[in-house]
Amino acid sequence: MSPDLTTWLFSLLVALAVAVALVCVYEGTRRFAAQGFGRATALLIIAGLLVAVGHAASDLYVGARLRMLLATFPAVGQAEPPEGWEKSSLSPAEKASRSLENARLSFQVTGRIVDVIDAAGVRQPYVPTPQDLHAREQMVLGFDRTEANASRLAAEAWRQLVAVIVFMGAGWIVGARARRKPG
């Protein structure tokens, strides 16, 4: 099976499980309001709440973890030696290579342009290659997608929690009306 089809089927099964859980919450609350407490009533309410609220809590947790991941993404510090590349004990070729890698990584992660030193010891601003520009674009897109997913999960979780409250309220209202009606 293709990953897209598997993801689609899994999403469908999760949506079906949550829908059944909401029906259980509704029916259990309706029975509780109409007939009082019973084993089947308790089982319906507990099972429905565990699935529906558990799924919402899971979405909130994953969304919070994604946001935390973005907030704690490793900051790229300046990897230049404290005394500068010029006074480093590395060979000129090694200095040039390490300063270039530092500048490349700094650009890809943060977008900052830092100085590089060439084999002759001359400092000049780093000029990103097309591959570096593409890597930076992918990094920014990854950050944006992660933030969008975190927001989507949080919104979905809050909607689901509101749906649980609405289904419980509707079940209570319908059950209370059934109890008041004679016959």
100 in helix, strand or coil? helix
Query: Using one digit for the tens of pLDDT, what is the confidence trace for 85-142?
Result: 677 777 878 878 888 888 888 888 888 888 888 878 788 888 898 998 999 899 889 8
115 in helix, strand or coil? strand
Model pLDDT, residue 109: 81
List beta partners, residue 124.
Answer: 116
Residue type, 164: V
Nearest CA to 164 among 11, 35, 55, 12?
A: 55
**Banded model confidence at residue 60, pLDDT cuts 50, 70, 90:** very high
R_g over Cα of the chain: 29
Bigger pLDDT: 19 vs 178:
19
